Amino acid sequence: MSDNTTSTAYSALTTELQQIAILGSCGSLVSWDEQTCLPPRGTEFRAEQLSLLAGLRHERATSKKLADMIAAAEDELGSALDDDTVQAANVREARRDFSKATRLPQRLVEEITRATSHAHLAWVNARKASSFSQFLPSLKKVIHLKQEEASALRVADQSLYDALLDNYEPYASSAEIEKVFAALREQLVPLVKEISASSVKAPISILSRFYPIDQQKRFCEMASAAVGFDMTSGRLDVSAHPFCSGIAPGDCRMTTRYEERHFNSAFFGVLHETGHGLYEQGLIRESFGMPCGETVSLGIHESQSRMWENFVGRSLSFWTHFYPQAQQHFPHPLGDVNISQFYSAINDIRPTFIRVEADEVTYNLHIMLRFELEQAMMSGDLPAEDIPAAWNKKIKDYLGIKVPSDAMGCLQDVHWSAGLIGYFPTYALGNMYAAQLFQQAATDLGDLDRQFENGDFKPLLEWLRSNIHHHGRRYSAAQLIERITKKPLSHQPLIDHLRNKLAPLYDLSQT
């Protein structure tokens, strides 16, 4: 870090923040274990463990001791508190975190942890049985507790939803998001229509041939390491819902799910989580626990995963490098498939039911629907009982398809069972951030395609490290985008990226 200091109040604060982060990291590990390793009958006490750890962490993150330390560091900095330095950002963001955390009663924190731990298991079983009613009681409890959380958190005339949104995308508002989503939707809808009208149909059946799981595992691990994920500082495991957890420096864990007859699910899932993992692994180790050693927002986090999954991983240049290796790993399903067919198949655009398997275009419509539903859940306009019907109607309206079961509909995502309401919009924000950042990287780094063709992903990774990862939370998402691209967030780079890629694939007229 550039801002070294020996000052007492500031370094006392950073030590305490690191201890709190270490306690938090224990909770992250216990939670990772719950989703990857926990024996079924261990659930009851796992909920108690998570609840206790969350309570202890919250207690320390809201203590008088920490308050005094922040105040002392603020005094010490004086007018330098508004400067553009790591030190000032650490103290300002620590104050913001403290102020948010103290608005939440500890009882509520523990209750939410316990309720979501139980709700997670209920969701797993309900999804298996495709039975929303099995999940309903747990979901109602979660919604109720999150409304309580939002009431405690909100400032001034903030809506309940915006108070939760701030947990994932600090400094954002749903009004702003609606504006940029609307601009995006205005361009996406005609694009989907044009593609549907195209006579070109991607040969997607090649992706549901038989891909042995052992080989998928090897190919995924190879590709993840090739783009830069450090397997001596991380792991790849299996869970029902893929995720990436940056537990502590040197310990970043991704999960995926393998399906024998679905190449995309694990491979692009792993590239996606790799993007998250590269961000976590790119944080400054010495800043662990301090705001400038933490990720900016989930939107920026998602921009990293989306960039590696879609902008890199679904490009022709990426596969120019990797396709020969893919054919070696999968001689049976891919032996008779040329790279053009494969490239076309992995860029198939069509309305489908499952968000995590949706294409780059329709994905954003999946997000808009969830964003709208959960705003209504929080305001009370949508009772939990009515979620399946509302979900199915919106899928019909936006994508023109009829949801066959709750498992394929409103039970598909882990988020609500985990209390992650306000989280979904960050996915589509991530797509837009990714497009705008990738456009800038191409300007700064020259011929990215040529680099990818040569298997050289280092320039892009280094660019991301120095422009984004190394800053931590020194700048907000909006500031970061402006600093790097010299423009505020816009839907246009994403539309440009999609049109440029898809026009030749689908014989679209360029507009």
Site residues for a copy of itself per CB under 8 A = 19, 22-23, 25-26, 29-30, 33, 37-46, 48-49, 52-53, 56, 230-235, 247-252, 288
Q: Count the Cβ atoms, other than its own, within 10 Å of residue 39.
A: 7
The enclosing H or E element of 237 equals strand 234-238
| Cβ-based nearer residue to a copy of itself, 146 or 465 | 465
Distance CA 429, CA 78 (A): 35
| Cβ-based nearer residue to a copy of itself, 289 or 388 | 289
3-state secondary structure of 244: strand
In whole angstroms, the minimum distance from the beta carbon of 457 to a copy of itself comes to: 21
Q: Count the Cβ atoms, other than its own, within 10 Å of residue 495.
A: 20
In whole angstroms, the minimum distance from the beta carbon of 434 to a copy of itself comes to: 27
Q: Count the Cβ atoms, other than its own, within 10 Å of residue 62.
A: 20
The amino acid at 141: K
In whole angstroms, the minimum distance from the beta carbon of 413 to a copy of itself comes to: 26
DSSP string, 362-395: THHHHHHHHHHHHHHHHHTSS-GGGHHHHHHHHH
Catalytic residues: 273
In whole angstroms, the minimum distance from the beta carbon of 208 to a copy of itself comes to: 28
Contact partners, residue 494, CB within 8 Å, separation at least 6: 184, 431, 432, 434, 435, 436
In whole angstroms, the minimum distance from the beta carbon of 232 to a copy of itself comes to: 5
Distance CA 325, CA 437 (A): 29
In whole angstroms, the minimum distance from the beta carbon of 205 to a copy of itself comes to: 32
β-sheet with 234-238: strand ranges across: 234-238, 251-256, 244-248
| Cβ-based nearer residue to a copy of itself, 277 or 313 | 277
| Cβ-based nearer residue to a copy of itself, 289 or 313 | 289
| Cβ-based nearer residue to a copy of itself, 49 or 297 | 49
| Cβ-based nearer residue to a copy of itself, 43 or 130 | 43
Instruction: Give whole-number Cα distances, 294 to 67, 81, 173, 247, 313, in Å.
Output: 20, 19, 21, 12, 26
